[in-house]
Amino acid sequence: MTFATWTDPSCAAIAQLLTERTGMVFTPNRIESLEAAVRRAAERSGVTEAAEYMKLLETDKLPIDDLVAEVTVGETYFFRDPALFEYIRHHLLPEITGRIGTSRPIRLWSAGCASGEEAYSLAILLEEERLSDRASLLATDISRTALAKARAAAYGSWSLRASDAAFVDRYFNRVHDRLVLDPRFRTRVSFEYLNLAIDSYPSMTTGTWGMDLILCRNVMIYLDRGTIERVARRLLDCLADGGLIVTGPSDPWLAEIVPCETVATPAGVFYRRRKTAAIVRSQSWWTAPTTPPLPPVPACAEIAVEWSAPPPEPASVPGDDLLARSREAFGKGQYEHVLEMTCERESDPELSALRLRSLANLGGPAEAEREAEAALALHPLSAELHFLRGVLLMSLARDHEAARSVRTAIYLDRSLAVAHFTLGSILGRGGDLAGARRAYRNARVQCLSRHPGEIVPLSDGETAGRLAEAAQVQIGLLEAGS
Ligand SMILES: C[S@@+](CC[C@H](N)C(=O)[O-])C[C@H]1O[C@@H](n2cnc3c(N)ncnc32)[C@H](O)[C@@H]1O
């Protein structure tokens, strides 16, 4: 068999750029279709030459996602693979609710959601199982075009090719030749931009943590091996204890690429984190700021926690104090150690914040939220503590209180871009689209006042440039949806 070669060297350069930014790989049999995709995307942008289009992409004058939408077949439909959805209904949802009880919402994520059919199928399933009020559903994609379609939730009959007429009548309204999903489902899914090839997850800012179920189907087929490995590791890190990743039948076999447990079911093989101390410890929904290495300190007298694997003792370092040592332990994922070193009533708000983050990573948001209230009684003027409490409340689906806490954080420190961004997410999912738009705009303004490469405070390592872009995407999506 002979494959095409590049007819235009600029297309080869564009393929290279796509690989760098998205992890997508272009085997020789995809050259022809990529060249055609470049031509279509370039034309839409008003240029005729691939070289000119490349320049616009390279200098970020055009977002790359329009091209991504062209080269990835956003092929998807409602209840794609019905056996899987029946397995989720009859086995996974009961197993999850049995495990977590009513302590927190069930957390589901459609990663690489395309135009939203997969995420909305989950939303419908949750309603049918009377779990809508107890669930939080995130759906992400790199293609803004696809995300805008997902938000609009208006489909052609091809998207419902596996569904019968009764199902369509129950959940869709016919508007001209489109099938429009009942509006109640639109507010039950948070559609967000996320490039899986960029290491911005797990993260509070993107809501990518503590997941009970991640569907990442027919996405990794497009990615190169290195990117697949990084994506798989990060997705595993986004899981709650007992959580599972589901891929598609044509996706790569992850057990050969990353250490994980496989779970064989009649609906396919799923993946979960191995239960080893090292891996469990890497699971967190707050990651660490980068700090220089510092030695550990003896445990706080009031808290007697025995820990089996003490961290290695680095040589002594100047500036040795409790805050620095706690930061360092947190940075290494030694959350138990942070709890040992700190007490419930810390006199320093930053120490209290590190303690809360550790508590949340180990014990979950409910436990941490209880302590957050006590910490705020001591430090009522700490913007960080108000923000953390807001995030914890948000994850417990207590959105009204969450919005209040985040607003207090903003009142205390207007420059906190992540607080504006988080407020946007809370208001958006509560249906206050104007408020959400305003909050995302404020987040963007704050980010633009910083150097694009600067790490945004309290953001789990998100840069100002990336957060500004994410805020812009959310504004665009809200405008397209309103
Ligand atoms: C074939 S669709 C899969 C849709 C759905 N998961 C399903 O299986 O029905 C693949 C999606 O992956 C998205 N995608 C590709 N690379 C991505 C990346 N690096 N980050 C996020 N999404 C990506 C594409 O934009 C596309 O919407």
Tell me the fold of 82-281: Rossmann fold (3.40.50)
Atom of ligand 1 nearest to the CA of 216: 6
Encoding tokens for residue 201? Answer: 């997850």
Domain with CATH 1.10.155 in the chain: 9-71
Give the ligand 1 atom nearest the CA of 80.
Answer: 9
Those residues with Cβ within 8 angstroms of residue 157's Cβ, 6 or more apart along the chain or in another chain: 179
Specify the domain boundaries for CATH 3.40.50.150 within the chain.
Answer: 82-281
CA-to-CA separations, 462 to 149, 418, 457, 477, in angstroms, rounded: 27, 9, 9, 21
- Long-range contacts of range 160-167, CB-CB < 8 Å, 24 or more positions apart? 160/77, 160/78, 161/77, 162/77, 162/78, 162/79, 162/80, 162/82, 163/78, 163/79
Q: Which atom of ligand 1 is nearest to the CA of 227?
A: 19
Contact in structure between 214 and 245 (CB atoms under 8 Å):
yes
Q: Whose structure tokens read 């620095």?
A: 324
Q: Which CATH architecture has domain 9-71?
A: Orthogonal Bundle (1.10)
How would you class 406 by CB atoms within 10 Å of its CB: exposed for 0-12, middle for 13-18, buried for 19 or more? buried
Nearest atom (ligand 1) to Cα of 146: 27
Tokens of 58: 């390279």
Distance CA 239, CA 397 (A): 18
The pTM assigned to this predicted structure is 0.71
- CB atoms under 10 Å from CB of 474, counted, come to 26
Say which residues have a Cβ less than 8 Å from residue 329's Cβ, sequence separation at least 6: 296, 311, 335, 337, 338, 341
Could you tell me the distance, in angstroms and rounded to a whole number, from the CA of residue 98 to the centre of ligand 1?
31
**Ligand 1 geometric centre to CA of 232 (Å):** 14
| Order of strands across the sheet that contains 189-193 | 189-193, 135-141, 106-111, 211-215, 239-246, 268-272, 261-265
Task: For the chain, report the end-to-end CA distance as a whole number of angstroms.
Answer: 50
What's 457's DSSP letter? Answer: T
- Cite the beta strand spans of 85-125 per DSSP E: 106-111
- Give the integer Cα–Cα distance in Å for 210 and 238: 6
The answer to whether the CB of 161 falls within 8 A of the CB of 77 is yes
Query: How many A from CA of 419 to the centre of ligand 1?
Result: 28
Distance of CA 338 to the CA centre of its chain: 26
Dihedral sign of CA atoms 237, 452, 324, 402 in order: negative
Query: Is any atom of ligand 1 closer than 6 Å to the C-beta of 68?
Result: yes
Q: Is the CB of 200 inside a 6 Å radius of any atom of ligand 1?
A: no
Please choose from 17, 118, 144, 219 the residue to mutate so as to test ligand 1's pocket, defined by most ligand atoms within 8 A of CB: 219
The C-alpha atoms of residue 193 and residue 235 are separated, in whole angstroms, by 16
456 secondary structure, DSSP code:
P
Atom 13 (ligand 1) nearest CA? 112
Q: Each residue of 62-99: pLDDT tens digit?
A: 778 778 878 876 788 999 999 999 999 999 999 999 98
Over residues 300-320, the pLDDT tens digits come to 222 222 222 333 334 444 335
CA of 74 to the centre of ligand 1 (A): 6
Q: Which ligand 1 atom lies nearest to the CA of residue 223?
A: 16
446 lines ligand 1 (CB under 6 A): no
Instruction: Say what the pLDDT of residue 310 is.
Output: 31
Question: Ligand 1 pocket, 148 CB below 6 A?
Answer: no
Amino acid occupying residue 94 = P
Using the mean position of ligand 1's atoms as its centre, give its distance from the Cα of residue 218 in Å.
7
Contact partners, residue 34, CB within 8 Å, separation at least 6: 11, 14, 15, 26, 71
For ligand 1, the distance from its centroid to the CA atom of residue 65, given in whole angstroms, is 11
> Could you tell me the distance, in angstroms and rounded to a whole number, from the CA of residue 114 to the centre of ligand 1?
5
Cα separation, 113 vs 206, in Å, equals 15
Task: Quote the pLDDT of residue 463.
Answer: 81
Q: Is 142 in the pocket of ligand 1 (CB under 6 A)?
A: yes
Contact predicate 35/7, CB 8 Å: yes
Task: Tell whether ligand 1 has an atom less than 6 A from the beta carbon of residue 143.
Answer: yes
Q: Is the CB of 116 under 6 A from ligand 1?
A: no
Residue (of 120, 138, 133) closest to 183 by Cα position: 120
Cis peptide before 202 (omega within 30 of 0): yes
pLDDT of the residue at 100: 86
Q: Is the CB of residue 115 below 6 angstroms from any atom belonging to ligand 1?
A: no
Distance 337 CA to ligand 1 centre (A): 39
CA distance 193 to 423: 17
17, 65, 120, 142: residue to mutate for ligand 1 pocket, most atoms within 8 A of CB: 142
Ligand 1, atom 25, lies closest to the CA of: 143
Dist. CA 270–CA 265, nearest whole Å: 8
Residues of the chain under the 50 pLDDT cut: 1, 276-284, 288-319
Q: How far apart are CA 119 and CA 105, in angstroms?
A: 16
Give the per-residue SS3 of 169-230.
HHHEEEECCEEEECHHHHCCEEEEECCCCCCCCCECCCCECCEEEEECCCCHHHECHHHHHH
